[in-house]
């Protein structure tokens, strides 16, 4: 009798486990149909660029030398391959993209095609590649628009709303990781609104759907087959952490690239910074909010509208402004020439301004000017003084400091994180407005200390950076 009861209990337990497993399985989404339909609109992006051979090998060794037992082996070959006067060679790379119209428009990342001499596209199941024309690109959001011409009937994907996407929602990524074309991965949205320091308009969707090199430019899809993000970045040292440009931002950029071949963004002509609790208290704000106006550039839209240094922007067109980044993104979302209502906090009360927007100039475009004509400093920088137009676009109230227009690979400056578009305002707490003054500080007191302390302006904010100087320089 006891044995019979034991067998019966065991059977009931197994049945319960089986039913629970079936229910759990039924609750999981099925991706096969979505992968089949969406996959036909995803393409492989093939690029060819001319590079110096020693530059390529530097990248190879920098990637592979990670404290392994083969360090000595790599050191020998690095010295061999990084010899001067190496002949240029063609480098091929792969990325991903997706078709948004039957007449051949394709969305991808800017970094996938940047610097390429040739760009071609491979459709799913096709043996031959199609030459692709770059219609436009936007380095500040890392987006690009291509176009191919073919008699083949193209499958397309449509944009969904990233605003409606929710944390925890299932998503699927399709791309070309490590050259393995049309790989499909699935996961969830881990977070929204991520800022990872890649540019002024960071607002990424974070996902644990596997994203790897080669996935860049591919779509992140919801279960309705809508593109809610463009896969663009990974954390090299982490797993299950990838980032996608939200579709609402991407769609605005792509529409402008399609119609104008460039992106125009609003500009008011101020320098801004985040609020802290003490500043809010000093300005009689009940809570820390808004963007503090540090300076207003004479003759620019904000100045013409009556904005003053010390104002706190708390709303744009009635929408609350959380911080300096939110103000930058909000103003940039409007077109030059539009009149925008801005609410500021001044002298303990709100004041409404109407600002006719100017046009924002990209730092990336300026940073590429005259690079080859400038010698490198001891820490690997190419520098020059910014002109009035550049100062305006960089958020400076007047031309001052030294604009970084180039950073040498593997230099002390690159290791410290300096990049083109940064402006050096001070070196060892002394103002620098000429390359000669900067070099004198480097070779003088900074060399004695073995370190130089720089005050940097980057994307509307200032920060200190210390750099260890190479010995003997």
Residues annotated catalytic, as ranges: 111, 142, 216
Q: Classify the phi-psi angles of 404: left when phi > 0, otherwise alpha if psi is within -120 to 50, otherwise beta.
A: beta
Residue 64 marked as a ligand binder: no
The residue written with tokens 């707490």 in the block is 429
Q: Is 385 annotated as a binding residue?
A: no
Any known ligand binding at 176?
Answer: no
Annotated binding residue 111: yes
- The response to whether 191 counts as a known ligand-binding position is no
344 in Cβ contact with 321 (< 8 Å): no
Cα separation, 344 vs 284, whole angstroms? 13
C-alpha dist (Å) from residue 185 to 9, 17, 219: 41, 28, 11
236 labelled as ligand-binding?
yes
Is 43 known as a binding-site position? no
332 annotated as a binding-site residue: no
The pair of structure tokens assigned to 327 is 């103000």
Query: Per the annotation, does 422 bind a ligand?
Result: no
Residue 427 marked ligand-binding: no
Binding residues: 111, 142, 214-216, 232-236
Binding residues for substrate: 111, 142, 214-216, 232-236
């Amino acid at each position: 009798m006891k044995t019979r009861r034991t067998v019966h209990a065991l059977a009931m337990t197994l049945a319960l486990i089986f039913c629970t497993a079936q229910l759990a399985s039924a609750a999981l989404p099925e991706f096969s149909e979505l992968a089949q339909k969406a996959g036909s609109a995803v393409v492989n992006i093939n690029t060819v660029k001319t590079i110096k051979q020693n530059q390529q090998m530097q990248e190879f060794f920098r990637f592979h030398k990670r404290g392994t037992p083969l360090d000595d082996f790599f050191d020998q070959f690095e010295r061999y391959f990084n010899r001067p006067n190496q002949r240029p060679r063609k480098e091929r790379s792969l990325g991903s993209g997706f078709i948004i119209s039957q007449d051949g428009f394709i969305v991808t990342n800017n970094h996938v095609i940047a610097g390429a001499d040739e760009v071609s596209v491979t459709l799913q199941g096709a043996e031959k590649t199609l030459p692709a024309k770059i219609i436009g690109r936007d380095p500040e959001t890392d987006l690009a628009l291509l176009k191919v011409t073919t008699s083949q009937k193209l499958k397309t994907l449509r944009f969904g709303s990233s605003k409606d996407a929710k944390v925890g929602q299932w998503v699927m990524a399709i791309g070309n990781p490590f050259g393995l074309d049309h790989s499909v991965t699935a996961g969830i949205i881990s977070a929204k609104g991520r800022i990872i320091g890649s540019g002024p308009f960071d607002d990424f969707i974070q996902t644990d759907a596997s994203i790897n090199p080669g996935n860049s430019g591919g779509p992140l899809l919801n279960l309705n087959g809508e593109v809610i993000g463009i896969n663009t970045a990974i954390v090299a040292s982490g797993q299950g952490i990838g980032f996608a440009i939200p579709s609402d931002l991407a769609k605005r950029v792509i529409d402008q690239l399609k119609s104008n071949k460039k992106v125009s963004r609003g500009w008011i002509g101020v320098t801004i910074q985040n609020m802290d609790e003490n500043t809010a208290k000093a300005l009689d704000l009940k809570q820390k909010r808004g963007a503090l106006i540090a300076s207003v550039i004479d003759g620019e839209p904000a100045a013409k509208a009556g904005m003053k240094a010390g104002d706190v922007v708390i709303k744009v067109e009635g929408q609350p402004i959380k911080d300096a980044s939110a103000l930058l993104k909000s103003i940039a979302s409007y077109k030059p020439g539009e009149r925008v209502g801005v609410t500021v906090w001044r002298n303990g009360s709100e004041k409404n301004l109407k600002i006719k927007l100017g046009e924002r100039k990209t730092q990336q475009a300026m940073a590429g000017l005259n690079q080859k004509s400038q010698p490198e400093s001891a820490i690997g920088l190419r520098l020059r003084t910014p002109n009035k137009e550049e100062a305006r676009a960089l958020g400076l109230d007047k031309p001052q400091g030294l604009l970084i227009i180039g950073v040498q690979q593997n230099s002390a400056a690159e290791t410290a994180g300096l990049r083109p578009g940064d402006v050096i305002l001070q070196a060892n707490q002394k103002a620098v407005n000429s390359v000669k003054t900067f070099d004198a500080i480097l070779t003088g007191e900074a060399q004695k200390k073995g370190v130089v302390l720089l005050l940097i302006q980057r994307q509307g904010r200032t920060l200190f950076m210390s750099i260890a100087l190479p010995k003997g320089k």
